[in-house]
Structure 1
Amino acid sequence: MNAEFREFREFREFRDVAAVTAAVVAPFLAALALVPLRTSVTHTNLALLLVVVVVAVSALGNRFAGALAAVSAAAWFDFFHTVPYQSFHMHDRADAVTALLLLAVGLAVSQLAARARLLGAAAYTDAVHLERLHAATRLAGTTRTPEEFVRYVGVELTALLELTGCRFEYGTLTGRPARLQPDGSVWVDGWDWDVDRQGWPDGEIELRAVAAGHYQGRYMMTPAPGGTPPPLESRLVAADLAGRAAAALDRARQPAGNGTAGNS
């Protein structure tokens, strides 16, 4: 699942590069192709055709690519379709208004398209996280031993948070390492660490495995040096996985028949 998410991220990065290239080239080619029509089609309609190109680039790329396409479309509309031709000067006020409207509409559309793309990416990420939690739930219900499930969660944490190391410690708490909290925040010496701005703190980070108020142990996690910290959603999923590992251990340590009602 982590490999699938990484492939999706790499595809998005490739698409962003392709979109920026298209933002520069596509409006130029479209404006050039429309040159034979500039005497038979109104400037307003030509501008609308160039807006279509901006929409296509925005749907492919990000906000920057969409905005760049809008600027490029307005510039090449001026160059090829307003008098004097092959010049970035305009003598007609109506042409200037059309070019400005093309730029404004293109910028607005690019922002809307980029927003829709971000929502789609967020939906995909949420689906990946949900499947990860469902997989853990299914596995916890099998005949695997709690220790095997604890190791499984460690592997999932390594993939989810892109760690270089992750081990589980049974027993009492020792030391004062940085701690990943259940709410996704990170504490360092009792202070709230701004992980989104500062990145992971140095050294190992503990993630306590607690279920029903019972402490079962902790995961000691080693982030990649200089790596980008995962978003809050990923940190919350990590805390949830640790809680499920603790629940598996807690169930295994309950006396047989605990919690069942006796016959009266």
Structure 2
Amino acid sequence: METYRNPVLAGSLLVPPAVCALLTPFRDNFDNANAALLLVVVIVGVAAFGIRLAGVLAAVSSAVWFDFFLTVPYNTFTINSSDDVELTILLVLIGAAVTEIAIWGRRQQAKASRHRGYLDGVITTSQAVAAGGSTDDLIEQVRAELTAVLGIDAVKFVAGDKQTQAPRLNADGSVTRGGHILKVERDGLPTNSEIELAVQHAGETRGRFLLIAAAHIARPDLEQRLVAVALADQVGAALSSREALHPHL
């Protein structure tokens, strides 16, 4: 978004007066409602970029220059007609509303894209488990995916069933410390301690991932945390299969 933010902001200010100026020679031959509709199209075009400030600027700019160029008396910021006053106000309101809808739509699109990414990660891991490849490679793959999904700094894997008093990411997606549920969405993951994510299969602990979020505050939502649990479970299944095939390893 940063690459086109400034041009969009500039366009939100400059395009409405340009459109109004182009309509000036014809202002005596069409209804102002039609001109307002054309400006709404401009606002929608700007708002589609999902930049709230640009949408608001386009709406205000459209209203101001609609008043200046297309309402009587012309070339002043005075409006004599109540209908034109209503149209000017509607331009601002419609612009604000369309901008919010565009931002919501972009957020939904981004959310759907993230969901697809999470699903692809779980599917890829499941395929790796089914293929029976190296568990070390699988662990490295899951470490990378956990780092990305949770937005944390690093992940370590420790084999064995030893438990500590560190904060824990549980199977239901909750994060607890000493039996108390932490509000991750509000406060973020603990930054002063590693967070344990158990690697389990068939009720047995095969190891644990240690999640590290020390450099910045990460606030993964419940869905992201459940994806992390699913990824860890895939590693648990792979370790269990290796143990069954090679019981003396």
1:249 is matched with which residue? Answer: 239
1:90 maps onto 2:90 in alignment: no
- How far is 1:76 from its partner? 2.2
1:210 maps onto 2:224 in alignment: no
Give the one of 200, 214, 227 matched to 1:237.
227
Q: State how far apart, in whole Å, the 2-side matches of 1:26 and 1:214 are.
A: 64
Residues 233 and 22 of structure 1: is their aligned pair in 2 closer, same or farther, counting only changes over 3 Å? farther
1:145 is matched with which residue? Answer: 134
The residue type paired with residue 97 of structure 1 is: E
TM norm structure 1: 0.82
2:121 is matched with which residue? Answer: 132
SS in 2 for 1:217: strand
2:178 is matched with which residue? Answer: 189
Residues 196 and 32 of structure 1: is their aligned pair in 2 closer, same or farther, counting only changes over 3 Å? farther
SS in 2 for 1:141: helix
Number of residue pairs the alignment of both structures matches: 245
Q: State how far apart, in whole Å, the 1-side matches of 2:195 and 2:4 are.
A: 34
- How far is 1:23 from its partner? 2.9
Q: State how far apart, in whole Å, the 1-side matches of 2:176 and 2:118 are.
A: 24
1:61 is matched with which residue? Answer: 50
Q: State how far apart, in whole Å, the 2-side matches of 1:53 and 1:148 are.
A: 52
Q: State how far apart, in whole Å, the 2-side matches of 1:23 and 1:238 are.
A: 42
- How far is 1:228 from its partner? 4.1
**Structure 2 unaligned residues grouped into runs of 5+:** none
**Structure 1 unaligned residues grouped into runs of 5+:** 1-11, 257-264
CA contact (8 A) 1:16 1:61 kept: no
- How far is 1:18 from its partner? 4.8
1:111 maps onto 2:71 in alignment: no
- How far is 1:46 from its partner? 0.6
Alpha-carbon RMSD? 2.4
- How far is 1:224 from its partner? 4.8
Residues 62 and 184 of structure 1: is their aligned pair in 2 closer, same or farther, counting only changes over 3 Å? farther
CA contact (8 A) 1:15 1:61 kept: no
TM norm structure 2: 0.86
1:38 is matched with which residue? Answer: 27
The residue type paired with residue 197 of structure 1 is: R
- How far is 1:13 from its partner? 4.6
- How far is 1:167 from its partner? 0.9
1:51 maps onto 2:40 in alignment: yes
Residues 115 and 249 of structure 1: is their aligned pair in 2 closer, same or farther, counting only changes over 3 Å? same
The residue type paired with residue 86 of structure 2 is: V
1:262 is matched with which residue? Answer: none
Q: Cα deviations across residues 188-247 of structure 1 (Å, max 9, x unaligned)?
A: 222221222212212211111122211111100112522443343322211110111111
Residues 137 and 191 of structure 1: is their aligned pair in 2 closer, same or farther, counting only changes over 3 Å? same
CA contact (8 A) 2:56 2:99 kept: yes
CA contact (8 A) 2:59 2:95 kept: yes
Q: State how far apart, in whole Å, the 1-side matches of 2:72 and 2:220 are.
A: 53
CA contact (8 A) 1:16 1:62 kept: yes
1:260 is matched with which residue? Answer: none
